[in-house]
Amino acid sequence: MELQKHGHACVTLGKDERRLVVDPGAFTNPAALSGADAVLVTHEHPDHFEPERLRKALDADPALEVWTNRSVAERLEGLGNRVHVVGHGDAVEIAGFDVHVHGELHAEIHPDIPRILNVGFLVDETVFHPGDALTVPDEPVATLLVPMHAPWSRTADVIDFVRAVQADQAYAVHDGLLNDTGLGVVGGLLGERGPGTPTPFSRLAPGESVEL
């Protein structure tokens, strides 16, 4: 499987000429949706989900379909059975990929801000994208995508998340709000200069890819 990083929270996963796009939000180049066989959306925040952009991609490709939670699906009303609602515990086949769904809610930003729905996707028992939550799946994860920085996160909690999942390797996502200095500081704490995790951590720049 090929993992390619795009802007902020978006990645694509490719195998056998099939391509999944996860969380192509407003901080991501719209070209990330080009050639997609399916789109996965973890939650409704604009850095993960840009409805008009996604509708445009669906209009351009009648075969393209979306898997997401109930609140995102409601914002794609009118697309019929091309939008599929999934929730915690579901296991579905999507464009030739086996996808297991984990988690229910977005991480807490502040007690005064209501929490929204959020689902994470484990693809082919290999790559786990948690969206905006620190959900620990109840099954092994080979490659963990780590929300590196967010208004809701604390680096100590992110380190503990990586420790809890115990993946073979981890790559940064959700890093679009950090400048180069912040990337170095937070990346160092998650990597060898930090308190330590069992999981090697690294970051792909937008456009970079790696074979898993």
* Domain assignments of the chain as residue spans, ordered by start: 2-211
What tokens appear for 97 in the block? 């990929």
Q: What CATH code would you report for 2-211?
A: 3.60.15.10
Cβ–Cβ < 8 Å for 130, 103: yes
Going 144 to 211 to 25 to 79, the CA torsion angle's sign is: negative
In angstroms, the CA 71 to CA 85 distance is 9
pLDDT tens, N- to C-terminus, the chain (212 residues): 999 999 999 999 999 999 999 999 999 999 999 999 999 999 999 999 999 999 999 999 999 999 999 999 999 999 999 999 999 999 999 999 999 999 999 999 999 999 999 999 999 999 999 999 999 999 999 999 999 999 999 999 999 999 999 999 999 999 999 999 999 999 999 998 999 999 999 999 999 999 99
Q: What is the pTM of this model?
A: 0.97
